[in-house]
Amino acid sequence: MAGASQGRPRSGLVESAKSLLGTLVAIVHNRLELLSTEIQEEIGRVALLLLWGALALLFAFLGIAFVGLLIVIAVSDEHRVLAVALIAALFLLTAVAAALLAARQIAAKPRPFDASLTELAKDRELLQR
């Protein structure tokens, strides 16, 4: 009888370990699915952002170039060098302002995979209890 009672706790322990392992695998699976979804969303967002950004830059460049050319042509001959210098300075100041705004925008975006990292931290905390 003693042998039968010893076999039962071990099989219960094995079943408990299998159940725990199954739960851990399910948790990891769910987190990887979430991470995969976030990666796909991020890739799509970045691709669309790059496309619209490239188009905006192209048309902005063309518009600014033609306005600058129009100003240079409209100014009298003795003031053309001054007009070109002022237009160049304006372009450079605009470029610096745009770079500062872009840096601020990049800093304001939440870190990538934030939801996945938060869920993994919760899982780690639960498992450590």
pLDDT digits (tens, 9 = 90+) for 25-64: 888 888 888 888 989 999 999 999 999 999 998 998 899 8
Note whether 123 and 27 are within 8 A (CB): yes
Does residue 6 carry a pLDDT above 60?
no
Which phi-psi region, left, alpha or beta, contains residue 113 (left: φ > 0; alpha: ψ -120 to 50)? left
Query: What is the end-to-end Cα distance of the chain in Å, rounded?
Result: 36
The pLDDT of 78-106, averaged and rounded, is 92
State how far the Cα of 67 lies from the Cα of 94, in Å rounded to an integer: 15
Greatest mean pLDDT among 27-31, 43-47, 105-109, 123-127: 43-47
Give the pTM. 0.47
> Which residues in 13-36 are b (16+ Cβ under 10 Å) and which e?
eeeeeeeeeeeeeebeeebeebbe
Does residue 10 carry a pLDDT above 80?
no
Note whether 31 and 119 are within 8 A (CB): yes
The pLDDT of 67-94, averaged and rounded, is 92
